[in-house]
Amino acid sequence: MGKPTGFTEFLRELPLDTPALKRIGDYNEFHLHMEEPKLRNQAARCMDCGVPFCHTGTLISGMASGCPINNLIPEWNDLVYRGLWREALDRLHKTNNFPEFTGRVCPAPCEGSCVLGISSPPVTIKNIECTIIDKGWEEGWVVSEPPTRRTGKNVAVVGSGPAGLSAACQLNKAGHTVTVFERADRPGGLLMYGIPNMKLDKKEVVLRRISLMEKDGIRFRCGVEVGKDLPAAQLLAEFDAVVLTTGATKPRDLPIEGRSLKGVHFAMEFLTANTKAVVSGSRDGSFISAEGRDVIVIGGGDTGTDCVGTSMRHQCKSLVQVEILPKPPMERAADNPWPEWPKVYKLDYGQEEAKARFGEDPRIYLTTAKNFIGDENGHVKGVHLVDIRWEKNDKGQFIPKELPETERIAPAQLVLLAMGFLGPEQPLLESLGVERDPRSNVKADHGKFQTSIPKVFAAGDCRRGQSLVVWAINEGRGAARECDRWLMGETNLP
């Protein structure tokens, strides 16, 4: 590396964020940029570690360890330290079509497996990645690069989330004519409506990249639901190959008493309608307001955090986030060693905002909802909660057991269900006739991505189940490579 002793000289440092109580007044991105000399010092912390785990992208204990798209992290850290930003951007684009997305929303499994992280705080890889690509846009280095020749093959990509966009980019680079179908009114899928604007700006980041893709020759057809507006048989007849990247959008429900009450919503109903209002500048009939309400979010993952952050911007009256799992430890547990993803307690942006306003972390652990309580108008007014502990049943499986004398009623005029997703929606898959696995995902081997219909490929959450944006990009690139190989007999795609 450029400075072999950098990790002994510089402490880990991140750029400042807009203060929590100030940023809940708008939907602007709140991570600020770091001055270049300080950022270069952070890049200098990258060790000459010999065997870097940060770019391995393996699964350990069911979770990502290292970068799933195998970003060349030590290389571009060294280049940033030397001030060679253009060369760093070239290295970054070799493996990642959209570093401006991952640099903002990826949980950074690379940092969890950083060798420096064994004994010290890891390198600030995610922040360096985001700065490289943002500087690339600012300097005009990110430009349209349409293919020099076309193959005459037409490929349809169904779904415009991160897997679909990365597949479309790669297939277009190979010279195929690519059409991306998106049932929503704007392209981007999860990136557009599943992630709030304060984490990923839609106009300045997402639509900027999509506009560049259009200049490269990729066509987007929005407002078209394949299998409904466009019959599956017609799709198969009109295109030489199809790549399914529809995501895993079937939410996990909570079928307890009172579920049908007004004011109980899936998280994505709430988040999607809010982002549409932010992007369009107006609210339609689907908008769900948390203003002045006691809000309960059920689920402790990223989607739950986004519900917390959005509710704070609505100026909710109070907020509680219910988590059925125990509170994570402050440091790695003995059974969670490096280079596994560190399952430790952290205060994410939404909880930080709630704590700043209400005085404490809104999460309550080892708690579940027994039923929803309604008023005389059929609207939710409270949630019946109970504490639990995890015990093994006679089959050795851990199951929740209610603790006596812990039941209580929490006020709530808005309940948001953020408990994850069960898999892809089935109507399109049924109309296509593709085989599915026992979890209802499209059956296609990783590395091959080909479904039971030879000309149809699948990638991302619809194939692997709910996962990270960075895994979706990995799969979209892989499916494009195998689709190109099937169409042409060989491929030059990575």
Task: State the pLDDT at residue 446.
Answer: 93
Stretch 59-83: mean pLDDT: 93
pLDDT band at 239 (very low <50, low <70, confident <90, very high): very high
User: 380: which DSSP letter?
Assistant: E
> How many residues would you count in the chain?
494
**101, 130 in Cβ contact below 8 A?**
no
pLDDT digits (tens, 9 = 90+) for 450-487: 999 999 999 999 999 999 999 999 999 999 999 999 99
pLDDT digit string (tens) for 415-434?
A: 999 999 999 999 999 999 99
- The whole-number pLDDT of residue 95 equals 97
Rg (the chain; Cα; Å): 23
Tokens 């997703």 appear where? 421
Task: Give the model confidence (pLDDT) of 429-459 as tens digits.
Answer: 999 999 999 999 999 999 999 999 999 999 9
What domains are there in the chain, each with its CATH number? 6-139 (1.10.1060.10), 154-249+422-488 (3.50.50.60), 253-419 (3.50.50.60)
pLDDT digits (tens, 9 = 90+) for 152-193: 999 999 999 999 999 999 999 999 999 999 999 999 999 999
When pLDDT is averaged across residues 370-399 and rounded to a whole number, the result is 96
Residue 1, pLDDT score: 65
Q: Is the pLDDT of residue 368 over 80?
A: yes
How high is the pLDDT of residue 390?
A: 96
CA separation for the pair 479, 353 (Å, rounded): 39
Q: Other CB atoms closer than 10 Å to residue 60's CB: what's the count?
A: 18
